[in-house]
Amino acid sequence: MGPPGPAGGGAFPGGVPVGGGALLRALRFVLKGKRAHFRRFYTNSSALTYPVPPPSALQGLLGAALGLGPEYPKALSGLYLSVRPLGAQRHLFQTVNYLFIKEARLEELRGLSGEGRTQIPLQFLVGEGGRPVAFEVWVASEDAHLLQRLAGALEAPAYPLSLGSAFALAWAEEVGLFPGEVVRGWEGEGLGWWEAARLRLKSPPPGTQVYRDRFPVLLGPGRVPRRVEELALEARGAPLSVVYEGEVLHVEGSVWGVVRV
Amino acid sequence: MTEKVPNAEILFLYEAKDTNPNGDPDAENRPRMDYVGRRLLVSDVRLKRYVRDYLLLRGEDVWVRTREDGSRTDADGRLQELMNLYAKETGREAGAKKDLDPDFLKWYLRRLRDVRLFGAVLPIKGEGEAKGGTGQFVGPVQFDWGYSLHPVEVYTATLSSHFAGRTEGGKGEHGTFGKDHRVPYALIAFWGRVSRARAEKVGLSPEDLEVLEKGLLEGLLQGATTRSKVGQTPRLYLRVDWVEGFRPLGDPRDGLALRPAEGKAPEAIRSVADYTLDARALARGLARYREAVARVRLWVHPDLRVEGLSLEGFPLEEVRF
């Protein structure tokens, strides 16, 4: 995997990168499904969803495509990730009837305990008008061979892809590879997600919807968040005009705020 | 060499007529609905319940089952019975109830077909695992939630009961009223996937998949016999086996369009005779990946009118039902 962090030398605050960034390969794909649920890790009695797959979910999805097991966080460390929603989305709530598991006794697992079941409101993301819910995803790395493998795996994944929950079946479209560059700092329009502490918005136009939340970036054993970051993104996937001190990916004429996993 | 479980896509359609296909526990047991999209919804859990009940009717045990008689004594007795059975078959102890032996869990996998199909979360420590580790069997077969292929409306009737609602303290010694929520008609479509890699981890066999097919087709008819579930009929089953990996076919339901009979509004559909299922887009999608398809298994109810499901050139197997 590549060196720790980009070489820097980006444009902040001048607006144009002036070289010195890390030249990378960038993989783009569109991730689609009929419903998505990316559980906000801090929710308890209700299962609320993020509007996009968190970095940890994207890393897991790429691991599933390659057929990796629990070793996937190590095998896929160092990737730069970014995402935005594509198309109109809305929320849908359904209450699900889960087994009540407290001590993992066999009676509980079989639904035979005195507590029986517990009902959890579950929030889905669905597409408007019956269309799929969709996300544009970028993955960048200096390891061109890995990205080539990922591109093939997304088109013919080893494990089925899903949008969060295993039942939220998914597929990848428009898989492509491009040259890109990661630099630190950017002033201008950009897409994807941004570290909130390094972000300043420039006169957001009316209608801008900025979503800001704590996202799991890396998971540890038992899927417990090991690294959490506060990220911001435009909830409809529209570009934001920003002054940003974090890392961005320049690719195909656009700029994407990235998170390194 | 033993045949391997394929990576596969499953499309399963069934109709629900004057019934409540899947009650929402948070909405007075009204049928699950996406009221904005005007589509009826059915959870994957409800569909898998039909299969599990079918397995029970076959005389098999299943992992996730409902209370038998509500008695914890019986539940403990049941656990002891299974542990005794394990000891009798293997000559080994199953371990403590809170720390079961990993070999006991392997025995469970062999015993419980529903775990091999749909998985289970077993937060039970195994040997060599870190404290607090879980034993999770991810199901090789996953179904996305089902939904109706057309707009659906819910109607409600009031029921009266001759039995008392409550008798404590002399209260309620009279009949009571209740609400009964149903849909007049819905053609419900499920999309599922089978994962070979996951199948290998839990020992799912091709025979298990045959039982799954029967569980979907026969199980729906056998299981949907209660008052709230009666009136459900399987209409179409399609399984596409991939040569390797998966291909981005997308959701096969997107390749279906329900065309109401002339002059009928989509929400006025009341029977299978009121529409034609247009599957031309699905056939086109499949044709794009013809070389990647190892086999197609198909069953269509004779009363369902399907147009455009052209599968010429595909290795086609008829599902007997």
Per residue in A88-98, pLDDT (tens digit) is 999 999 988 77
Query: What was the pLDDT predicted at B103?
Result: 85
B254 touches chain A (CB under 8 A): yes
For residues A97-125, give the mean pLDDT.
72
Provide the percentage of residues in chain B whose pLDDT is more than 70: 80
Q: Cβ contact (<8 Å) for A173 and B248?
A: yes
Supply the pTM of this predicted model: 0.87
Identify the pLDDT of residue B133.
41
Q: Say what the pLDDT of residue B138 is.
A: 86
Choose the closest CB to A156 out of B32, B100, B244.
Answer: B244
Tell me which residue in B37, B100, B139 faces A130 most closely, judged by beta carbons.
Answer: B37
Query: In B, which residues are within 8 Å of A157 by CB distance?
Result: 245-246
Mean pLDDT of B41-48: 95
User: A95 contacts in B (CB within 8 Å)?
Assistant: 24-27
**Closest partner CB to A221 (pick from B72, B130, B139):** B130
Predicted pLDDT at B121? 65
Q: Which two tokens stand for residue B280?
A: 């031309």
Nearest CA of chain A to the CA of B106: how many Å? 15
pLDDT digits (tens, 9 = 90+) for A132-154: 999 999 999 999 999 999 999 99
Confidence of residue B122 (pLDDT cuts 50, 70, 90): low
Q: CA separation (Å) from B294 to A116, B45, B236?
A: 43, 29, 20
Question: CA angle, A224 as apex, A223 and A226 as ends, to 5°?
Answer: 115
Cβ A96–B123 below 8 Å, yes or no? Answer: no
Q: pLDDT-based confidence at B107, cuts 50/70/90?
A: confident
Distance from B253 to chain A by nearest Cα, in Å? Answer: 10
When the pLDDT of each residue in chain A is averaged and rounded to a whole number, the result is 88
For residue B135, pLDDT beyond 70: no
Of A42-46, A210-214, B61-65, the range with the lowest mean pLDDT is B61-65
Q: Is residue B61 very low, low, confident or very high in pLDDT (cuts 50, 70, 90)?
A: confident
Sign for the CA dihedral angle at B225, B182, A94, A209 comes to positive
**Res. B79: pLDDT tops 80:** no
CB distance A12 to A195 below 8 Å: no
Inform me whether the C-beta atom of residue B129 falls under 8 Å from chain A C-beta atoms: no
pLDDT of A162: 96
Mean pLDDT of B236-256: 96
Pick from A32, A101, A161: CB nearest B123: A101
Nearest chain B residue (CA) to A98: B45
Nearest chain A Cα to B292, which residue?
A156
Q: For residue A2, what are the β-bridge partners?
A: none
Q: Taking residues A205-233, report their average pLDDT.
A: 92
Beta-bridge mates of residue A127: A89
Question: A127 pLDDT band (50/70/90 cuts)?
Answer: very high
- A154-203 residue pLDDT tens: 999 999 999 999 999 999 999 999 999 999 999 999 999 999 999 999 98
Q: Do A175 and A166 form a contact (C-beta atoms < 8 A)?
A: no
**Are the beta carbons of B37 and A126 separated by less than 8 Å?**
yes
What pLDDT is stored for residue B82 in this prediction?
A: 66
Residue B123, pLDDT score: 47
Could you say which residues from 7 to 46 on chain B have a Cβ atom under 8 Å away from some Cβ of chain A? 7, 24-27, 32, 34, 36-37, 39, 41, 43-45
Q: Looking at residue B40, what is its pLDDT? A: 97
pLDDT band at A10 (very low <50, low <70, confident <90, very high): very low
Residues of A with Cβ-Cβ distance to B72 under 8 angstroms: 107, 112-114
- Look over chain B and give the mean of its residue pLDDT values, rounded to a whole number: 85
> Of residues B267 and B162, which shows the higher confidence score?
B267
Q: Does residue A7 have a pLDDT over 70?
A: no
pLDDT class for A23, splitting at 50, 70, 90?
A: confident
CB contact (8 A) between residue B245 and residue A171: no
**Cβ contacts of A109 on chain B, cutoff 8 Å:** 63-64, 120, 122
pLDDT score for A1: 34
- Residue B285 pLDDT: 97
User: Taking 70 as the threshold, does the pLDDT of residue B301 lie above it?
Assistant: yes
Among B25, B100, B198, beta carbon nearest to A95 = B25
Contacts of B147 in chain A (CB under 8 A): 34
Instruction: Enumerate the residues of chain A whose CB falls inside 8 A of the CB of residue B139.
Output: 166
Strand-pairing partners, residue A84, are: A136
B250–A104 C-beta distance less than 8 A: no
Q: Which residues pair with B192 in a beta bridge?
A: B10, B143
Phi and psi at B68, nearest 5°, equal -85, -50
pLDDT at B70: 41
Q: In 3-state terms, what secondary structure has residue B69?
A: coil
Cross-strand partners of B143? B192
pLDDT band at B314 (very low <50, low <70, confident <90, very high): very high
CB contacts < 8 A, A to B, total 131
What's the burial of B192, exposed, middle or buried (CB within 10 Å: 0-12/13-18/19+)? buried
Q: Do A221 and B133 touch (CB under 8 A)?
A: yes
Interface predicted TM-score (ipTM) over 0.95: no
3-state DSSP assignment of residue B292: helix
Residues of chain A with pLDDT > 90: what percent?
Answer: 72
Give the pLDDT confidence of B5-42 residue by residue, as tens digits: 999 999 999 999 999 999 988 788 899 999 999 999 99
pLDDT at A193: 96
Helices (H), A76-128: 106-109
At which residue do the structure tokens 């089953």 appear? B237
More confident residue, A106 or A221: A221
What pLDDT sits at residue B277? Answer: 98
Give the nearest partner residue to A111 out of B36, B67, B251, using CB atoms: B67
Residue A247 has pLDDT above 50, yes or no: yes
- Model pLDDT, residue B78: 52
Q: What is the model's pLDDT at position A168?
A: 96
Task: Tell me which chain B residues have a C-beta less than 8 angstroms from the C-beta of A174.
Answer: none
Closest residue to B143, CB basis, from A156, A158, A167:
A167
